[in-house]
A and B are shown apart, each in its own frame.
Chain A
Amino acid sequence: MTEVITASTIIKRFGHKQVLRKLDFSVQQGEFVAFLGPNGAGKTTFLRILSSLSKPNYGIVKIAGFVLPTQAASVRQKLGVVSHQPLLYGDLSAEENLNFYAKLYGVIDRSERISQILKMVGLEKRRRDLVRTFSRGMQQRLAIGRSIIHDPEVLLLDEPHTGLDQDASNMLDEILTRVATQGRTVVMTSHDLPRVANLASRFDVLARGKIMGSIQASDLPKHGLLSFYESVINQNEVKNEI
């Protein structure tokens, strides 16, 4: 299988604080990687580096064959990003928001693609409603639609379940599963272990600025993801530090 994402010896500092310490990470095509870790472990920082929004102090990032930051525009064309903020304009309708991003990404059959996306995220009937009238769950579903409007190879999700209730989270999971099964490579950060346990094919635990543990979903121990996560965290005595 081809490696779609490769990050080697990534170092990121904010002032004197070193957030990422020679982090190495790679993802194969079609993998769904859940990036776990306690608060402050550097998950969001690392995802911002992968998405070209932030530059590492040291290290090389390669996505879909392009190197960051020199080929950032080519990388951005291959990426879809969902953060805990929806990145949508409240005073534009769902359709207008998608149309705006479709223009920026150079999508050719815009109206057809927008209809397809709205149907996929279950917002066809609300296509002309302003986004500010949407619930948090609806906004997050539309945010997923926005992120895949240009049919990206790689999808980066930064805690997409933040602020969602049980029903909205379940609906989001259904969409994410559908999106992932379309052959995309997905990297998602999360704190919600039971939820990601059913979604991802690989689990990486980030702590102290490094990946401290990694496991395939098929190799999970008897007591599941939680026991694996706790064993990694306890083994590295991360709890007391954070």
Chain B
Amino acid sequence: MKSKTSFFKALSAVVWKDLVAELRGKEMLSAMMVFALLVIFIFNFALELDPKTRNALTAGIIWVTLTFSGTLGLNRSMAVEKDRGCLDGLLLAPVDRTAIYFGKSIANWVFMLITAAILLPVYSILYNTNLFSWGLVLVILLGSEGYVAVGTLLSSMSIQARTRDILLPILLFPVIIPVLIAAVKATGGFLAGETFSSLTTWIYLLIGYDVIFTSVAFMVFDAVVEE
């Protein structure tokens, strides 16, 4: 007995599959975590800064670390599908292909948020800085959403190439410059104690970027994965 698979059923199936497989194998999360922690350790020893300069650099260090470790995750997320031919398995399913895109994006977003949730407390301890702020939580949510929206789309494109590990950052980094600038500015502002109203420009930029790029990915994903 069969019924037509709804968009949300297909999407939740892909999210469930990615989360269960990753929590069991831990290949992607462990690589992202270890990389992120190594980067902040290296920054900690390489930049012996006075407390004032250190605070000014915090936003940049956090976003550079998240961006680089996120790239590792995005590559791995699609490599798992490609290497065992599972991408074909997904594309053969009689579902709206954008459900596959959103499923993979949501799973990637969760992995990025887990990385951030571990990275930030460790950073606070290492740099002796209080990072907790609801504003920062909002920026991390919006910034990482924009990042995975574009990243998941581009990784499904770069995965077809032999040089996929190199290709993804080359394609991705120029496109995410707006989200990176807005996220760094907003993070810096919140950590410096600025009010929400003074940072709305950056927050709106993040929201705008997220909406535009998620919509673009929604429209072009089918064409990107088509042979």
Contacts and interface: CB of A to CB of B under 8 A. Distances in A.
Interface of A: 48, 51-55, 73-74, 76-77, 79, 81, 83, 85-92, 96, 100-101, 103-109, 130, 146, 150-151
Contacts of B4: 106
A106 B5 contact: yes
B3 interface: yes
Interface in B84-100: 84-86, 88-96
A109 B89 CA distance: 21
A107 B21 contact: no
Nearest to A83: B85
Interface residues of B, number: 30
Contacts of B20: 91-92, 96
A106 B2 contact: yes
Contacts of A52: 92
A77 B227 CA distance: 20
Interface stretch (B9-17, B69-77, B114-122, B154-162): B9-17
Given A74-B94, A77-B94, A104 B2 contact: no
A87 B86 contact: yes
Contact of B93 (A76, A83, A89, A108): A76
Contacts of A76: 92-94
Contacts of B95: 73, 104
B101 to A, nearest CB: 14
Q: What's the dominant secondary structure at chain A's contact region?
A: loop
Contact of B88 (A87, A103, A130): A87
A100 B16 CA distance: 9
Contact of A91 (B5, B13, B24, B226): B24
B91 to A, nearest CB: 6
Smallest CB-CB A-B distances: 8 pairs: A85-B85, A87-B89, A104-B93, A106-B5, A103-B13, A108-B1, A76-B94, A91-B21
Contacts of B5: 103-106
Contact of A51 (B13, B21, B84, B92): B92
Contacts of B90: 104
A153 B226 CA distance: 24
Contacts of A85: 84-85, 88
Nearest to B6: A106
Given A87-B89, A103-B13, A146-B89, 6 more contacts: A51-B92, A54-B227, A83-B85, A96-B17, A101-B93, A104-B10
A151 B2 contact: yes
B2 A150 contact: yes
Contacts of A109: 1
Contact of B94 (A73, A81, A108): A73
A107 B86 contact: no
A134 B110 CA distance: 29
B86 A105 contact: no
B174 interface: no
Contacts of B10: 103-104
B193 interface: no
A105 B2 contact: yes
Nearest to A104: B93
A76 B5 CA distance: 12
A172 to B, nearest CB: 17
B88 A53 contact: yes
Given A51-B92, A92-B20, A130-B24, A87 B2 contact: no
B86 A92 contact: no
Nearest to A85: B85
Contacts of A107: 1-2
Given A106-B5, A106-B9, A150-B2, A86 B94 contact: no
A79 to B, nearest CB: 7
Contacts of B2: 77, 105-108, 150-151
A92 B2 CA distance: 23
A89 B84 contact: yes
Contacts of A74: 94
Contacts of A55: 226-227
